[in-house]
Amino acid sequence: MEVANETVIKKPKRLTSVVWNHFERVRKADLCYAVCVHCNKKLSGSSNSGTTHLRNHLMRCLKRFNYDVSQLLSSKKRKKDNTLTIANISYDEGQRKEEYLKPTIVKYEPEQRKDEVFNVQSSWFDQERSRLDLARMIILHGYPLAMVEHVGFKVFVKNLQPLFDVVPNSTVELSCMEIYGKERQKVHDMLSKLQGRINLAVEMWSSPENTNHVCMMAHYVGDDWKLQKKILNFVTLDSSHTDDLLSGVIIKCLMDWDIGSKLFAVTLDDFSTNDDIVLRIKEQISENKSCLSNGQLLDVRSAAHVLNSIVQDAMEALRVVIQKIRGTVRYVKSSQSIQGKFKEMVLQTGINSQKNLVLDCPIRWNSTYLMLETAIEYRNAFCQLPELDLDLALSDEEWEWASSITGYLKLFIEIINVFSSNKCPTANIYFPEICHVHIQLIDWCKSPDNFLSSLAAKMKAKFDKYWSKCSLSLAVAAILDPRFKMKLVEYYYSQIYGSTALERIKEVSDGLKELFNTYSICSTLMDQGSALPLSSLPSSSNDGRDRLKGFDKFLHETSQSQTAISDLEKYLDEPVFPRNCNFNILNWWRVHTPRYPILSMMARDVLGTPMSTVSQESAFHAGGRVLDSCRCPLTPETRQALICTQDWLRIQSDGTYIHYLSALYTIISISSYISNNMLLSLMQ
């Protein structure tokens, strides 16, 4: 039987159990009930029933879990009115203990201040912090700014936290810019304190709107001897940009971040980029009086880009053949009946391949390779297919071309996979792979087939242009691998250059020594700047007019120089380190820094040079990197802020950000544990 109105009895003083903080005592005729303030469940509340069943309910009540345990320790709040009216509460003696009624709705007052901190059932809410958390989420996951205007998002947020005032699109943009400013200052401070040098990778991006962008990323080996990278700038270029504009953008990036004097190398994604760009950067570095202002290893071009460019030459040369094979595969896969006939031809010709025919995605050349590779295995079956369009039939010569060029593509795929999939792509991994390409190109040029030899000659001419710029950088990085040293250069150069190999090896050796001497001088200058004043150096006399102070300085400088020179010689004269698959070159140099103090400084900067700027997801993409369409409508400033900050926050998510979430989860778990156990102990 339901009663429209029931009277809440004012609790007498003898009801001192803390349990009654969670129940209202209700009288119905001659019976008393206890109504849970969390879930509205009604239990027996007579004085003869005790409180054990009330305690048991509280330990099971899911609606109570958000209750503020601090309220448990405070004195009971006295109500202004001794009696309250609770309407339409029905009590069913047979009601299951697991059933719960609807929770009380929390009212939201719009006039409350946004920056006010609230406490609702122990859940502290901070509008300002939530606003920044929303902006960080949008940045980190690349969500569109307009998501805050979506009805579904607003409903979700209001149901999750009614107190949160969903901010408009413009406010989220300002929040993102605020986060960008703070994170940028952190990165700037970190780079300014970095002991080693910085390598700048410059990569061109396009967009669906045919706008060009340049992404500049700093690569370096940190003080913990781990390879790091951070996007510094993402600049939208004018539609009529020139090389002068591009060099100006790069120089401005160096100046804005105050890293011009720390620059070691600039890696450009296009190997054919005008050399004037690098010359202007060298001039800027010279003005900053950098220790390495000669810039002998400054100009680096992306290895993966040059290989991709060479592949495009091969694909273009084989374009007609590829189109025929693509059409043939499409014809075979066009109907079940034709596929059945094709399987009969496969059995008749004795082909044992288990691969399925695949159509390629023309903009991803690795998929074209897979199509060609599979089609070549079914060559004899294709030739026996009845009703095949004569325009799709390949001659024996064309099949031979396809087979040879597919072999070329296989080599490039293997090498680019090494570059793009390496988790720590230090510069030493590139030399043996690039040398292998060089040797193969020399061999391909000797093909008796005029078509293949002319194609190989074109590919080698493009490769030679890259090799002339980057061979020294590649070789020096390989020499600084203790498993190879000069032996690897001697091994490959003898195959590449033949009778002139010794001259080429000497060029590399001279370049290595010149770079090392530069570091030796730079180290001496740093020692002088950080050392104690000359008057504090040890002296054999306490006389303030000591005439041998100059000798002390001379002895200090010459000793440093001798130590530095023997540093490189000692490294090269010692046996190579045994090769193994788990070798960590940066850890090796970290451990051996005391043994090779100058050379380790040089190794850190050389090994941190990005010899390739292609990411794994775009390694085989013919069109290069394309900007996300949701970011195209943004202003250049906002676009740069979102892209840069996303990169910085993703780095944090690999470490600090995960630790933060883990710590937060631990705090929540501990708080819940303490709350439950404290309540249990108080009720016992």
Whole-number Cα distances in Å, 338 to 330, 447, 470 = 11, 38, 52
Instruction: Encode pLDDT of 411-463 as tens digits.
Output: 999 999 998 888 889 999 999 999 999 999 999 999 999 999 999 999 999 99
**CA pair distance 659, 661, nearest whole angstrom:** 5
Burial class of residue 246, CB neighbours in 10 A (0-12, 13-18, 19+): buried
* Residue 89 pLDDT: 33
Question: If DSSP codes are grouped into helix, strand and coil, which group holds residue 266?
Answer: strand
Residue 552: its pLDDT value, please? 64
Q: What is the pLDDT of residue 370?
A: 94
For strand 198-206 and strand 23-28, is the pairing parallel, antiparallel, or unpaired? unpaired
Per-residue tokens: 448 = 């008796």
Please identify every stretch of the chain with a pLDDT value under 50, giving residue numbers as ranges: 1-6, 10-13, 66-122, 291, 293, 529-544, 564, 656-662, 664-680, 682-684
Residue 563: predicted pLDDT: 52
Give the position of tokens 């087979």. 403
CA distance 684 to 682: 6
* Residue 85: per-residue pLDDT: 37
pLDDT at residue 536, as a whole number:
33
Which pLDDT does position 560 carry in this prediction?
56
Two structure tokens written together for 41: 């469940």
Q: Write out the DSSP string of 55-96.
A: HHHHHH-GGGTTS-HHHHHSPPPPPSSS--EEES----TT--
Q: Please check whether residue 251 is in contact with residue 283, taking contact to mean a CB–CB distance below 8 angstroms.
A: no
**Confidence at residue 438, expressed as pLDDT on a 0 to 100 scale:** 97
Number of C-beta neighbours around residue 40 at 10 A: 16
pLDDT of the residue at 290: 53
d(CA 456, CA 449): 11
Q: Which residue has the tokens 């061999």?
A: 443
CB atoms under 10 Å from CB of 124, counted, come to 10
Please give the structure tokens belonging to residue 255.
């100046």
Per-residue pLDDT at 273: 67
CA angle 522, 526, 530 (to 5 degrees): 175
User: What's the burial of 363, exposed, middle or buried (CB within 10 Å: 0-12/13-18/19+)?
Assistant: exposed
DSSP 8-state secondary structure symbol assigned to residue 576: P
Per-residue pLDDT at 90: 37
For the chain, the structural domain boundaries read 18-65, 127-174, 304-509
Residue type at 344? E
